Amino acid sequence: AQRVTQPEKLLSVFKGAPVELKCNYSYSGSPELFWYVQYSRQRLQLLLRHISRESIKGFTADLNKGETSFHLKKPFAQEEDSAMYYCALNNFGNEKLTFGTGTRLTIIP
């Protein structure tokens, strides 16, 4: 069975400091990984996906198949990054997403 683990429920970081939100997954095939974000009073929305290899709002994430990880990183945190972040996994062949439990990121001014 596929599973996504986000070990940190809460993470506080000072503005300007680096951010790393951890995500580990278990899956037997070839997964596709995503990060979703939910800002206060807004909808859940896609932040980035590993297949795109993009940097969105300064965030990047690299899929490490050896460590089965997909950590989200940003070199310099901004106050507007405060939000709930969910890591999610999809198995190729269908559209089903499996979400982690989420990490609430708070940026301290």
Partner 1 sequence: EAGVAQSPRYKIIEKRQSVAFWCNPISGHATLYWYQQILGQGPKLLIQFQNNGVVDDSQLPKDRFSAERLKGVDSTLKIQPAKLEDSAVYLCASSKPSGLFDTQYFGPGTRLTVL
**Can residue 54 be called a binding residue for partner 1 (CB under 8 A)?**
no
CB atoms within 10 A of CB 19: 20
Q: List the beta bridge partners of residue 32.
A: 90
Q: Compare residues 82 and 90 and give the one whose CB is closer to partner 1.
A: 90
Of residues 73 and 84, the one with the C-beta less far from partner 1:
84
With tokens 């932040």, the residue in question is 47
Residue choice 35, 90, 105, 107 for contact with partner 1 (CB under 8 A): 90
59-78: contacts with partner 1 (CB under 8 A): none
The first and second tokens of residue 37, run together, are 């974000």
Which residue of 45, 55, 64, 106 would you call a contact of partner 1, by CB under 8 A?
45
Q: How far apart are CA 16 and CA 6, in angstroms?
A: 23
Q: Is residue 34 within 8 Å of 59, Cβ to Cβ? A: no
Q: Enumerate binding residues for partner 1 (CB under 8 A).
A: 4, 9, 32, 43-46, 49, 86, 88, 90, 92, 94-102
